[in-house]
Every structure is written in C-alpha cells, then in structure tokens.
Amino acid sequence: MVESRSALNEWRSFWYLPIAASLGYATAVMYVYSMGPYIDPIQQEFGWSRAQVSSGITIAAFLSALFCIPIGILVDRIGPRRVGLTGVILMCGCVALLGTATGTQANWITLWCLLAVSTMFVQATVWTSAVNSRFVASRGLALAITLSGASVAATVFPILATWLIEKYDWRTSYMAMSGIWVLVTLPFMFFCFRGARDQKVTKAAPIDKDTIAGLTIAEGIRSPALYKLLMAGGFFAFTAIGIVVHFVPILKDSGTDPLAAAGVASLIGIFSIIGRLGTGFLLDRFPSHLIGAVAFVIPIFACLLLIYDGSNPLSQSLAAAIFGLTLGSEVDVIAYLAAKYFGLKNFGALYGALVMALSLGTAFGPLGAGSIYDHYNSYVPFLILTAVMMGASAIALLTLSSTPTADELGAEPA
C-alpha cells in the first residue's frame, strides 16, 4: 500500500527525480525537435523531397510504437532506471550516426531503424512511471516538470542544431549535438533517476505488486476511457508534431531568415515550459479532463494566425507561443488521466498503449505535413486538418466519465 504523503514531503524527499526524468524525456524527443533545421540542408545535398527527409521520424516513431506495451510491461517488472539509462546512451549514439548518412534511401532507412531501437527505451512510460511512483499529492506538477523535458528539447535543439549547421555542416551538427547532450545529462541522471520499483529490486524483501492499486490489463482494455485517451492523444500528436517539425520550413516559406525562423520556433519550447507547469498546477486543483479539453482547443487559433497572417512576425510569434502552451500540456494530461483512470498496478502496460498512439501520431504527422506540402506546395491544408483534429481531441476528453474510486481501482484500505 502506498502511504499517503503531503505534497511538501514528496518534494522534500524526491525533488531531484522530476528534473532527472525531464532530461531523460528531452533525450527521447531530441530527434523530433531538432529535425526542422536539418530538412533544407539534407534536401539540398541529396535532392530529396521534404516527405523523404521527414520519413526518418516516421520510421523511428512507428517501430517504437509497436513496442510501447512490451516496454511498459518491462518497466513494471524491472523498474524504469535500467531501461532509461540504457536508452539515453543508445539514443545519443544513434542520433550522432545520422551524420554518417550516404544519401541512399537504404542507408537512411537503416540509420533510422537503429534509432528506432533506442526510442523504445526512452519512451514517456519510463520517465512518468518513476515519477508517478513517488508523487501522489503533487503528481500533476511533478509530471509537468518531468514532461517539460520536451519543452527543453523544443527550445534548445532547434537553435543548437541551426548554429552548428551554420558553423560547420549538418553532419558535424548531428554528432556534436549528441555528444554535448550526453555529456551534460547522463551524469545527473545516473545519480538521481530512481523510482519506487527501482528501489524494491535492490532490496531483499520486495514490495508485493498486488498491494499497488490499479486495474488489471484486461479491465483497462475494457475501459471506454482508454479509447477516448487513445483518440485524443493520437490526433493531437499527429497534428502538433507535424506542425512543430515543419515550423521552421513554414516560416522560411513565408520569407523569414533561417536563423530568425529558428529563433521564433524556439518560442514553442519556451512557452511549452509555461504550458506544462501551468497545466500541472491546474491538474492538481481542477477536473483534469476539462483542463485537457481547453488545452487541446487553443491551437486552433494558432492555425488561423498562420493561415491568414503567416508572414507577419508578430503572428508567427503568437502562433509559436500558442503551440508551445499546448505542446506543454498534451502528454501531461494523458499521463495524469491514465494514472487516475487506471491506477499504478499496470500503469506501464496501459500507459504504454497510450504512448503507442502518441508515437504513431508522431510517426505519421511530420510525414503527412511533408507529403501535403509536396502535393500542394503549401502547408495551409495541413493547418486546416490540424484545427479539425484538435477539436475532435478536445471533444474526446470532454466526454470522459468520472474517475474511478479507490475501491474500483482495487486499493487496499488505509
């Protein structure tokens, strides 16, 4: 049985864990948020379409999605620490290998298949599982800090990649970016990333998993909430990640200077930090499905700004800020709702199914945006599609029923 603790005690005991987990999650999405600056130089060198360049993300995210549930089960059994640390090393190494691309499709696919293997071990399930096991009273804020790793990635990697490309070249940029990141983050994660399940595997008397409240996998599969969360997460990831990956090209197509476009794109990361922390604060105090629905609606206004006034620097900045606020909340909302509706007993497996939907959206969103641009020579149709799918995601969250009681989750009496 998980002992009830106040939010203050949770932070006093485990303040470092969400920070370490956020670095891990930033590593998990570095290949997504750094892609924008690489699209043009790779396209120019190899003569590929934007869809061909973006296909790498599709390969990695799709193959990763196939193993979301097995990885979740692995985390439930051996703990997130060993899975996550292994994944960080693999991810940085595989991103560096992208700089060795030869220009053939076979080589490009092979490199991204290798990267796909590394993504399996740095999925959101790994980082949120550890944090959920340590935080109850302040879970919303703790998850917000954890998933702010994506905000860090969206802020740091476009600027770092663009600077390294302009100073050296895109190949050196991939290698240098990965080397810098692993040297900065891995030591802190090694000493500070440890969840409750990691602690129990080092003790002679492990905690019985049956004492942890939560639905069985079969009960979770029968829950309507699972499918509504799958829909909301998948639709959101498809459109939002598609926009973020192509945000620099979207601005450059309107006549914006490359470095200036990267600077505007970095606002997505800055505001996503605000969005995540604000969402985490609100999730601990208000109905979580309502908070999520509101967060999923506001990107519609950003789409309208880019469609009708996309060459205006102010509109570009406002759109980046709005996308950032929402990008700072989607995974937080899904992870928080998953813990509330499914409990922690099989959180890795059931949340793994939701991560699969997010990964599939990530896989096909950038490819879809690139394909639409190649066909129409414009991103406007994709922006319209984004507005429609964001609205559908918000409706899915609004129609969620009340969260299960402790008895329904199988919690033991205090």
Each domain of the chain, given as residue ranges in start order, spans 13-193+211-398
Residue 414 has pLDDT above 50, yes or no: no
Mean pLDDT of 217-223: 78
**Over residues 256-283, mean pLDDT:** 80
Q: CA 159 to CA 259: how far, in whole Å?
A: 8
Q: What is the mean pLDDT of the chain?
A: 81
d(CA 224, CA 226) in angstroms, rounded, equals 5
CATH of span 13-193+211-398: 1.20.1250.20
Instruction: Classify the C-alpha dihedral 21-27-32-36 as positive or negative.
Output: positive
pTM: 0.69
Least confident of 60-69, 205-214, 236-245, 268-277: 205-214
In angstroms, the CA 279 to CA 146 distance is: 12
Provide long-range contacts, Cβ within 8 A and 24+ apart, for 375-379.
Answer: 379/246, 379/249, 379/250, 379/253, 379/306
User: Which whole-number Å values give the CA distances from 159 to 54, 84, 264, 268, in the listed order?
Assistant: 19, 26, 10, 12
Whether the per-residue pLDDT at 295 is higher than 80: the answer is yes
Higher pLDDT: 160 or 57? It is: 160
Q: How confident is the model at residue 175 (pLDDT cuts 50, 70, 90)?
A: very high
What lies within 8 Å, CB to CB, of 280 at 6+ separation is 140, 141, 142, 143, 144, 145, 332
pLDDT of residue 367: 81
Which one is predicted more confidently, 378 or 329? Answer: 378
Rounded Cα distance between 67 and 117, Å, is: 9
pLDDT classification of 120: cutoffs 50, 70, 90: confident
Which of 385, 387, 362, 354 lies closest to 372, judged by CA?
Answer: 385
**pLDDT: is 254 or 46 the higher one?**
46
Q: What pLDDT shows up at residue 408? A: 52
- Dihedral of alpha carbons 199, 203, 208, 209, sign: positive
